[in-house]
Amino acid sequence: MTPPLANSNAARDIGSVLHPYTDLVAHQEIGPVVITRGKGVRVWDDTGRDYIEAVAGLWCASLGFDNERLVEAAARQMRQLPFYHGFTAKSHEPMIELAEMLLARAPVPMHRVFFANSGSEANDTAIKMVWYYNNAIGRPQKKKLIGRVKGYHGITLAASSLTGLVNNHRSFDVPLPGFVHTMTPHHYHEARPGESEEAFADRCAEALEALILAEGPDTVAAMWAEPIMGAGGVIVPPRGYFPKIQAVLRKYDVLLVADEVICGFGRTGNYWGTQTFDMQPDIVTCAKALSAAFLPISAVMVNARVFEGLARESHVIGTFGHGYTYSGHPVPAAVAVETLKIYDEIDIVGHVRAVAPTMQAGLRSRFADHPLVGEVRGIGLIGAVELVADKETRANFDPSRKIAARAAKLCEQHGVISRALPGDSLGFSPPLIINEAEIDEMLDRVRAALDELAVQLRRESIAPVG
């Protein structure tokens, strides 16, 4: 690959930016793809090449990459009140209105809303709330938190401890003590021969109960779960999974936190992934599509039980000693309010339900029989194709070959920005406004990329088996 030209944006980036989720050594040789503009479901780089953004940026640009109403909402609020905070009982109308709108749309009855700036901060806040709550109600030993292997809940110190992905732990000295992980509910890889989804879900629940008993029920406070595990590979739970899991949690009085950062606001074909999978959480975290990614904002919704504990302890102490300078910042809050109004006006859930069959059927018709593809999975406008070395045994490629990363790079060359996920999966989570023609174009381009990869692997004598 040709090194970036001196004084180009790419060269300037190499000399100044430390990138997240990037091989920092390789980046100094290869450089970035510099995105300059966006419209609808497409973005353009500084060479003029267009890409269909198949993951909505980072699962978040729900209304695409241009929306004048959101621009105007931000500008209007910046002219009126560009900043104020929520500390010491201060408030402003955008924060109040957004909290009311979220409570009105909550998947289960919720009582109060706390605002933060990212999904990581929202989950980190919820962790502290769970600990604070159990102190408030006289259970100071009930503090351990359960995540899931391959789950993703963010990358702050505590949130990364909940996350169950190896590369988010290695060399960062996490997980911290008190964070444990139960099994991944991935039927394709984890089920025993002949085991049905229902039977597998039973075994997942049994594994959770065994973990709680091993740790001590009096020490386990809460479990975090994404309705669909996003960054871990777009893993859809088996039939009956969440009702079975929740029965175990109720038995041992363990709270459930639904991480709706990716699934919320229509992604799964319901307003919340919680509704798609019959979850009954005590706390809900959300971000990303809350503002259609136009500005950073996230939220934590708590039910009456949790709020009453928080309120009681704050009264004893004299304050709820947690918050961020930009919690409920009026400009992102105003944009989020406008975003939710747009969702209602265009019936975003109805649109997802209308076009999702095209994406889900298209993923399966184009890739299920592809020599590189082991499993196609997804629901609504979120999906993945998993690349395997052996279709019969479901064995993945040697991780050192970085097959999914190669596939994602080839997708870029064919005009699609996808996402390489753990387990050699390619993720798809396009803007919710995508139409059927754009879905077909996206999948055609990805098919061409995977066909090219298959040819390359045959030439390198590492072609898949089966």
Sign of CA pseudo-dihedral 218, 220, 222, 225: negative
Cis peptide bond prior to 281, omega within 30° of 0: no
- Return the structure tokens found at 287: 């971000």
3-state secondary structure at position 223: strand
pLDDT along the chain (466 residues), means of 10: 72 96 95 97 97 98 98 98 98 98 98 98 98 98 98 98 97 97 98 97 98 98 98 97 98 98 98 98 98 98 98 98 98 98 98 98 97 97 97 93 96 97 96 98 98 95 72
Cβ distance 187 to 236 under 8 Å?
A: no
pLDDT in tens, 321-334: 999 999 999 999 99
Question: What is the predicted pLDDT for the residue at 446?
Answer: 98
Could you tell me which residues come within 8 angstroms of residue 188 by beta carbon, excluding any fewer than 6 positions away? 374, 375, 377, 386, 394
User: Which bin fits 262, alpha (ψ -120 to 50), beta or left (φ > 0)?
Assistant: alpha
3-state secondary structure at position 211: helix
Q: Cα–Cα distances in Å, from 408 out to 24, 53, 133, 197, 418?
A: 18, 12, 43, 30, 6
Alpha-helical (H) ranges within 68-156 are 68-80, 93-105, 119-136
Q: Which residue has the tokens 């996808």?
A: 418
Q: Which residue has the tokens 């500084």?
A: 46
Cα 429 from Cα 417, distance rounded (Å): 11
Could you tell me which residues come within 8 angstroms of residue 379 by beta carbon, excluding any fewer than 6 positions away? 228, 236, 268, 269, 276, 356, 360
- Return the structure tokens found at 16: 């100044």
Residue ranges of domains in the chain, CATH in brackets:
33-66+348-459 (3.90.1150.10), 69-346 (3.40.640.10)
Cα 169 from Cα 172, distance rounded (Å): 6
- Return the structure tokens found at 253: 């009085």
User: Which bin fits 259, alpha (ψ -120 to 50), beta or left (φ > 0)?
Assistant: beta
Could you give phi then psi for residue 62, rounded to 5 degrees? -65, -35
Per-residue exposure over 219-246, b if at least 16 CB sit within 10 Å of its own CB, e if not = ebbbbbbbbbbbbbbbbbbbebbbebbb
